[in-house]
Amino acid sequence: MHSPTETRGHASLRLLLIVTLSAAAVACGRGNEASGATAPAQVITIDGSSTVFPVIEAVAEEFQREHRGTRVTVGSSGTGGGFQKFCRGETDISNASRPIKATEIEACTKQGIEYVELPIGYDGIAIVVHPSNTWASAMTVADLKKLWEPSAQGRITRWSQIRPDWPDREIHLFGAGVDSGTFEYFTEAIAGKAGQSRGDYTSSEDDNVIVQGVSGGPDALGYFGYAYYEQNRDKLKLVAVDDGDDTNGAGAIRPSPETVANGTYRPLSRPVFVYARVSSMDRPEIRAFLDFLLDRGQPLVREVGYVALTPREQELVRRRYSERKTGSMFAGTDHAPMTLEQRLTR
């Protein structure tokens, strides 16, 4: 089983391969045109979030294995960069690790781009400690911010500095590597801005290192993608997280497939999406790809480290897709405490 970051690491290599092959294919295509043969290759252009990238890239690989005539190019310009291209009409599908923003909706409307919003899974981050840790069974977002924000560097180094009744021992921190989507998301959710983190902790692109580190000592704390906890649950203990907002579940909440999916494990869980351009959906190869994604994508979602949709949600997403229901289910109600299922049925 690959960890998400491992997959991301290989992803760039695979992307390079795809690009090279594409270039070769284009060259061949030209040659063929010159000799007046066969139709040009069908191309599906996808760009957007680097968090969603590994899922879509895995789906694209499987898809291309079965549909030889179709090329799928997947970029990872980030959610914002992806929407910029999408709303200019340059891509068929845009990956997003957050719902489309009002400004982006406006940009799309201006260009006459209509889209269908399709959730494909959840990205959740687990905070873990050593199984013998009896004190840190729950932490607030403020605790986590105090521990992980840049100004904590070299300053907050003992458990007792987070809460006075916790042991006066050094805390050993482990976390995602700076190139991972997990790092970006964690820092954004906890410190307020993506990339803002202290630097004096063991940061690794390899989730195994984090598992090893946290399971190796009683004073360790670490974070990584929730799916990775599931594979190592006997060696680690989850920390419940309290976001201080009782409207989406009171008190501290531990991550689980249920709390991640029903939106009560906040702020460290979020649905991830693909946005498909309606006009592109008239093309059979795009429909084939989206069918493939919705029918066979969920195991891949799990494999790269995310939480899959519930069967009910999957059914609702598929209905939304077949009805080509346009617009965002978040528009105007971004911060309302609603589950994805409620939004999908709205």
Partner 1 sequence: MRSRRIFEAVIERALFLCAAGSILVTAGIVLVLLWETAAFLGEVPIREFLFGTVWTPLFYDKQFGVLPLVAGTLLASAIAMAVALPAGLLIAIYLSEYAPAPIRRTVRPVLEVLAGVPTVVYGYFALQFVTPLLQQIVPGLAGFNALSPGIVMGIMILPLVSSLSEDAMRSVPTGLREGAYALGATRMQTALRVVVPAAFSGISAATVLAMSRAVGETMIVAIAAGQQPRLTLDPRVPIETMTAYIVQVSLGDTPAGTLEYRTIFAVGMLLFLSTFALNLMSNWLRGRFRQEYA
Residues that bind partner 1 (CB under 8 A): 8-9, 12, 150, 153-154, 169-170, 172-173, 177-179, 195-206, 209, 212-217, 219-220
Name the minimum Å distance from CB 144 to partner 1.
Answer: 16
Name the minimum Å distance from CB 12 to partner 1.
Answer: 6
- Smaller CB distance to partner 1: residue 70 or 197? 197
| 159 contacts 217 by C-beta, under 8 angstroms | no
Ranges of beta strands (E only) in 37-85 are 42-48, 70-74
Q: Residue 3 and residue 1: Cα distance in Å, rounded?
A: 7
| 270 contacts 185 by C-beta, under 8 angstroms | yes
- Smaller CB distance to partner 1: residue 181 or 297? 181
Q: Residue 51 and residue 95: Cα distance in Å, rounded?
A: 9
Name the minimum Å distance from CB 131 to partner 1.
Answer: 13
Q: Which of 294, 290, 270 is nearest to 278 (CA)?
A: 290
Q: Burial, 219: exposed, middle or buried (Cβ in 10 Å; 0-12, 13-18, 19+)?
A: middle
Read off the tokens for 56. 């879509």
Read off the tokens for 301. 């979602």
Name the minimum Å distance from CB 234 to partner 1.
Answer: 16
Name the minimum Å distance from CB 127 to partner 1.
Answer: 17
- Smaller CB distance to partner 1: residue 35 or 132? 132
- Smaller CB distance to partner 1: residue 105 or 189? 189
Provide CB contacts within 8 A for 217, sequence distance 6+: 130, 172
**CA 128, 133, 134 angle in degrees (round to 5)?**
120
- Smaller CB distance to partner 1: residue 87 or 214? 214
- Smaller CB distance to partner 1: residue 221 or 261? 221
Q: Residue 236 and residue 132: Cα distance in Å, rounded?
A: 9
Provide CB contacts within 8 A for 238, sequence distance 6+: 126, 127, 128, 229, 254, 255
Read off the tokens for 20. 């090279």
Euclidean distance between the first and final Cα of the chain, in Å? 37
Per DSSP bridges, beta strands 70-74 and 202-204 are unpaired
Name the minimum Å distance from CB 213 to partner 1.
Answer: 5
Name the minimum Å distance from CB 34 to partner 1.
Answer: 37
What H or E segment, with its residue span, contains residue 222? strand 220-225
- Smaller CB distance to partner 1: residue 196 or 339? 196
- Smaller CB distance to partner 1: residue 22 or 202? 202
